[in-house]
Each structure stands twice: as structure tokens, then as C-alpha cells.
């Protein structure tokens, strides 16, 4: 057998068999290496697939589309001592700021709201430790925007404070709470300034341009107790007001019903009405002359009822509007007053008496005239004495 691998071109049978075995072994080794390499490639592909599966999927963005927001989850609220005895609807409205009342009542009626996993009604009374299920609710863009930009924190001059209540001296030009055309007020600013306070609620209200004593409750029990006193006319509320002209000394009581109405633009107004008006509300104001000034009279005004704009309307309807009143006042006189330094309405919540909600003791508070009003009084000469 001829072979190129042997000298002279000849090879024995044994040499040929040895060569064949070596060639076969080389082929087996090659096959084994190819098989290993194939397995490695398959393993690499498998690992790559698993890694891609674990990575988040890319989100397709649509130009002009709103970003998707994850749906709010169910919440469980635990009733604390301050909310003991409160109605369910009022409890929910306090926790679901910005949600319309109609929606709050709908989720109660539908059974989505539960107390301790049981069905309930709007007038169900809560007890300490109750667990209230609140379903997911969405708020309007306006409310969400307000939550994203909260009121700036602010403290106000404190007249009295304890564990039950806070009495402050509210400046003029600040609303007591946010509302139509006003993004925030005193109560929102106080809550931001006191984030650890469990409860801060207005006991009563003052007009935006009125300065003086304002009560804020720090406990639910105190809020109810104090509001009951205001409702039952057990408080004493006296204001200082500068009115136009010479107030008649004999006019000490004004007992005229008031009627609220809206202007075409939706702004609220109040007027004196007749006693037979079904929408009229009895309103009583007591008047005492404190000081007679040039062109005006400083009055101590005590209200027995707390109607909207009561003092302003009662005084103006009797021919003596309050200085600086931009709704019911004498606008020409107001312009003259501004030239003399009075740039706000001269109405100040001066004194307030009430029974302390915890001790029952009678509390008497007084807030002196703010500097801008006191300075005006000091610079106005009283009328010349008759010769």
C-alpha cells in the first residue's frame, strides 16, 4: 500500500491502522469541541433572554398624551380620640379634602366605605379605634395643584393658647380660610406652621378685612363645645368700628332681619329686609358710643347674632357706614380717608368672652386696636366743643 507518509512511498498494514486511529480520534475531538461551543452559545442566549425578561419594559410615549398616574389604593383610617362620636360623613370630608360632597355620599351609599369591614351610613357615629375603609378617590387637577403647592407656613400673634384652643389676633387683609378667589387663609397657614398638631379647626369666622380675635380649636370636643356657645348666643363679641357722621346717642339697639343674595357676577351681598321675609334672619346689634371724632364716631358694637356682614349692613342701613368699607360704605368718603392714611376698613374684633370648653371658667380676651387704626384715631381731632 503506497503512502506519502512513509519513506519510499510504502507503509506496512500496522502503520496504516495506527494512522487511521489517530485520524478518527482527531475527528471525535473536533466534534466534542464543536458540541461544547454550541452549548455555550445556547447557554449565553438563554441567560440573555432571562436578563431581558427581568428588565422593565420600555414605555411607549405618545406625543401630546397625559402621563399615566398609578391608581390610588384603598386606605384604612383608624379613628382617634379626637374623632370619637363624629359622624362618618364629616369624618370623611375632613380626610378627603377637595373631593365633592356628592361623591363622598355616593361612596358611602354604594358600600365602598366600611367601618370595621361592615356596611355603614352617612350618620353612623365613629368610636375610638374604629377602622374606616376609604376606597380610591381622585381629586380634580385644581385640588392636586393646591396640594403640590401648599400655603406658606405662618404664625400669628397669640392671645391665649392651651391644649384645647388657640386665640390669635388676626391681621386685616388675610382670609380665615381658602375659598373662592383665595387659595389659602389663616387656618391653612397655621396647619403648615404646626405640622405636628393633630387638629386645628376654625371655631368661627371673621371677614377678610376685619382684624382681631379669632378662635381655633385644637380638640374635637373643644370645637363642638365652643361652636355650641356661639350658636346659643352664650358668647360676648364686641367690635370697634369707626362710622361716618355723628351717631345718635339714643340709637342703642338695631333689631333688623338680614337677607343674603348674590350679585350678577356671583359675589355675595347682604341687605336689611322686612320681618315677613321668609328668607330674612333676625339680627340684633347693640351700639355704644366710645368716642366722637371729627367727621365720624368710634363705636363699641356688640352682636347678639352672628350673621354675615351683620355689623357692616346694620350700621350702613342706618346712615352711618363703616370707614373704608368697600362693599357697603361711602366710596367718596373712603377716598378721602385714604388720603389721610386710612387704607383699610375700620372694623376690629376687640373683645370676646366665652366659657372654657374644659374648665367651664369664663374667659375674657381683648385685642387692642392695631397700629394703623390707633394712629388714625390719634391723628383725628375731636369736634370742637360748643361755646
**d(Cα 377, Cα 371) in Å, to the nearest integer?**
10
**d(Cα 67, Cα 79) in Å, to the nearest integer?**
35
Q: Are 170 and 202 in contact (CB under 8 A)?
A: no
Closest CA to 244 of 344, 322, 335, 337: 322
Within 10 Å of residue 94's Cβ, how many Cβ atoms? 13
Catalytic residue (one of 130, 169, 207, 330): 207
**d(Cα 146, Cα 153) in Å, to the nearest integer?**
14
18 HSE (CA, 13 A, CB side): 7
**d(Cα 369, Cα 375) in Å, to the nearest integer?**
9
CA 15 to centroid of chain Cα atoms: 102
Would you call 163 a catalytic residue per the annotation? no
Instruction: Find cell 366605605 and name the residue.
Output: 113
Q: Give the E-state strand segments of the chain in sequence order.
A: 75-78, 114-115, 131-134, 158-161, 165-170, 201-202, 211-217, 236-244, 253-255, 258-262, 268-272, 284-293, 296-303, 347-355, 362-366
Those residues whose C-beta lies under 8 Å from the C-beta of residue 205, and which sit 6 or more positions away, are 176, 177
- Catalytic residue set: 207
Amino acid at each position: 500500500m503506497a503512502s506519502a507518509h512513509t519513506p519510499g512511498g510504502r507503509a506496512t498494514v500496522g502503520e496504516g491502522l495506527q494512522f487511521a486511529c489517530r485520524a478518527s480520534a482527531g475527528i471525535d475531538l473536533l466534534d466534542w469541541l464543536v458540541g461544547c461551543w454550541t452549548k455555550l452559545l445556547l447557554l449565553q442566549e438563554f441567560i440573555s433572554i432571562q436578563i431581558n425578561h427581568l428588565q422593565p419594559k420600555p414605555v411607549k410615549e405618545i406625543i401630546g398624551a397625559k402621563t399615566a398616574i398609578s391608581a390610588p389604593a384603598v386606605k384604612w383610617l383608624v379613628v382617634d380620640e379626637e374623632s370619637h362620636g363624629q359622624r362618618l360623613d364629616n369624618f370623611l370630608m375632613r380626610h378627603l379634602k377637595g373631593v365633592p360632597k356628592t361623591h363622598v355620599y355616593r361612596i358611602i351609599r354604594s358600600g365602598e366605605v366600611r367601618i370595621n369591614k361592615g356596611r355603614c351610613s352617612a350618620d353612623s357615629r365613629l368610636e375610638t379605634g374604629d377602622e374606616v375603609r376609604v376606597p380610591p378617590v381622585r381629586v380634580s387637577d385644581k385640588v392636586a395643584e393646591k396640594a403640590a403647592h401648599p400655603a406658606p407656613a405662618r404664625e400669628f400673634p397669640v392671645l391665649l393658647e392651651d391644649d384645647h384652643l388657640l386665640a390669635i389676633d388676626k391681621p386685616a387683609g388675610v382670609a380665615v380660610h381658602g375659598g373662592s378667589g383665595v387659595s389659602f387663609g389663616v387656618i391653612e397657614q397655621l396647619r403648615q406652621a404646626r405640622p405636628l398638631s393633630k387638629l386645628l379647626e376654625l371655631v368661627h369666622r371673621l371677614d377678610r378685612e376685619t382684624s382681631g380675635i379669632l378662635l381655633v380649636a385644637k380638640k374635637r370636643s373643644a370645637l363642638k363645645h365652643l361652636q355650641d356657645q356661639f350658636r346659643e348666643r352664650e358668647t360676648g363679641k364686641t367690635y370697634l368700628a369707626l362710622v361716618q357722621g355723628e351717631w345718635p346717642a339714643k340709637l342703642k339697639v338695631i333689631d333688623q332681619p338680614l337677607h343674603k343674595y348674590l350679585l350678577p357676577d356671583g359675589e355675595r351681598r347682604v341687605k336689611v329686609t322686612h320681618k315677613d321675609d321668609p328668607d330674612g334672619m333676625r339680627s340684633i346689634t347693640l351700639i355704644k358710643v366710645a368716642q366722637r371724632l371729627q367727621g365720624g364716631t368710634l363705636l363699641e358694637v356688640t352682636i347678639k347674632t352672628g350673621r354675615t356682614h351683620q355689623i357692616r349692613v346694620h350700621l350702613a342701613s342706618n346712615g352711618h357706614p363703616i370707614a373704608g368699607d368697600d362693599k357697603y360704605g361711602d366710596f367718596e368718603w373712603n377716598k378721602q380717608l385714604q388720603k389721610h392714611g386710612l387704607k383699610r376698613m375700620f372694623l376690629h374684633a376687640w373683645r370676646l368672652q366665652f366659657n372654657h370648653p374644659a374648665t367651664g371658667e369664663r374667659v375674657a380676651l381683648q385685642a387692642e386696636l392695631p397700629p394703623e387704626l390707633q394712629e388714625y384715631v390719634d391723628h383725628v381731632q375731636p369736634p370742637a366743643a360748643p361755646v
